Structure 1
Amino acid sequence: MKSGFGNTKGNAPTLNPRAKPLKRPSQARAIFTVEAIYEAFVRIWQRDGWSGLTTREVALEAGVAIGTLYDYFPSKEALLSGYIRHSLDELLQHLDEQVVQANDLDALTRIKRLIRLTCEPDVVRQPLFNHDVLSIEHQFTEPKHHRRLFQELSQKWREAFAACSDLPIQPSATTIDAWVIMAWGGRRYCVAAQPDAEQTAAWLREIETMICSRLLGAT
């Protein structure tokens, strides 16, 4: 398997340009095509693993021409990169719809839902957020990608807390950022360390308890 790195500048590795998607779909037909490609990609990954996956097989499974797939993804690393970004965009959308815009929730219920949607393992909604992907993450991500996601998650969490009109005192932006690092960093470590279901559930309860206790203490 190729390392995914191109030339280096100083000590900073440069991602192979072929590991990046070429474009994102904007028209309805193109969105439908790319989503079909992603669905085929997930099915083949789960059946054959990363080593058994090829772009040609994904195109065949999705019912699209290989040239159409290459219009968006020049390699299977680019396809994985695009899929991960797609999954994270869906997560941000769910946070907005089910937490930020959920005006019928009281503050603690809203925040508990925010934590659960951000942290709770969901193999149906994010089937490839797993140990296998984390082990090859260096082939298709750069530090700027992690920074971008952190900024987007932090912004969504700030919007969620701002929507809690029944909180007498709002947590500071710095505190919210710290909670995002604690929650998302913990989720990533759960993927890496693979604790059992009981240990994961206990971690999730502790995250809820710590944040909600801080809010109640402020009250």
Structure 2
Amino acid sequence: MYQRRSPPGFGKPSASDSSVRKPRGKPAGKAVNKPLKRPAQARAKFTVQAIYDAFVRIWRDRGWAGVTTRAIALETGISVGTLYDYFPNKHALLSGYVRHTMDVLLEAIEQQVIQATGLTWRERVHRLVRLTCGIDVAELAYFDADMLALETQIAEPKHHRRVYEEMSAKWLSAFDACTDLPYRPEPDTVRALYLSIWGARRYYWLLVDPPDISAGKWAAEMEKLCCAVLEKK
């Protein structure tokens, strides 16, 4: 997901951006739609988080076309040069942000489902399904159908594989934490449950608020599906 190359092209800077410092490195070539580096130090993490927060505000207010170098810089107060140090173009910014949403989700499952104490298996499954469905979950990072529609421009098969491996591992750990389950489901069963919900989630985003089933109702039905499988021996 992170690659140190420096292709140009971030949004459409205005004429007042003539002093923009272009990314350092190799000569311009084919654009790389990935962040150039992952922040390691606390200050760098704060900077990148501020960029992501500004990206979401601009996205929700002005859409993809409104995401430009100048807009991000003005919104954050971060220099354009610093912005280019991390993101060579707007697709790289979107790629980094989507990865960020996954990191937030994985951490939420770890803390609220796997590490949580004093929960019955039903309560743990409720939290797991709720987070995985990602509908109206305030603690998760913002994501919408328009972002999903741009996925083919930033994602490669290896990225999908990585998400599958990380999420299925979290699901397996979540069920390991359910020590009061009626019986232990096979790993393949757990992976199948995860895929059924994750695939449905992606399609639900594409439908954009279907009138015949609310997000809450859909998530509740997914939870019923999981519980039915776990109770049937």
Distance 1:212 1:124 in 2: 24
Quick check: 2:104–2:141 contact (8 Å CA) kept in 1? no
What fraction of aligned residue pairs are identical, expressed as a percent?
50
TM-score computed with the length of structure 2 as normaliser: 0.82
Kindly indicate whether residue 81 of structure 2 is the aligned counterpart of residue 70 of structure 1: no
Distance 2:93 2:134 in 1: 25
* Shift in CA distance, 177/17, structure 1 to aligned 2, threshold 3 Å: farther
Distance 1:83 1:55 in 2: 16
Kindly indicate whether residue 202 of structure 2 is the aligned counterpart of residue 188 of structure 1: yes
Kindly indicate whether residue 159 of structure 2 is the aligned counterpart of residue 145 of structure 1: yes
Q: Counterpart of 1:33?
A: 47
Quick check: 1:20–1:73 contact (8 Å CA) kept in 2? yes
Quick check: 1:96–1:156 contact (8 Å CA) kept in 2? yes
Q: Counterpart of 1:207?
A: 222
Structure whose residues are more often strand by fraction: 1
Shift of 1:73: 0.3
Q: Which amino acid aligns with 2:228?
A: S
Distance 1:126 1:191 in 2: 15
Q: After superposition, where does 1:1-219 map in structure 2 within 5 Å?
A: 17-122=31-136, 124-126=138-140, 128-194=142-208, 195-196=210-211, 198-218=213-233
Quick check: 2:95–2:155 contact (8 Å CA) kept in 1? yes
Shift of 1:123: 6.6
Shift of 1:88: 0.7
Q: Which amino acid aligns with 2:129?
A: I
Aligned Cα root-mean-square deviation (Å)? 1.8
TM-score computed with the length of structure 1 as normaliser: 0.87
Query: Which segments of 5 or more consecutive residues in structure 1 lack a partner in the other structure?
Result: 3-15
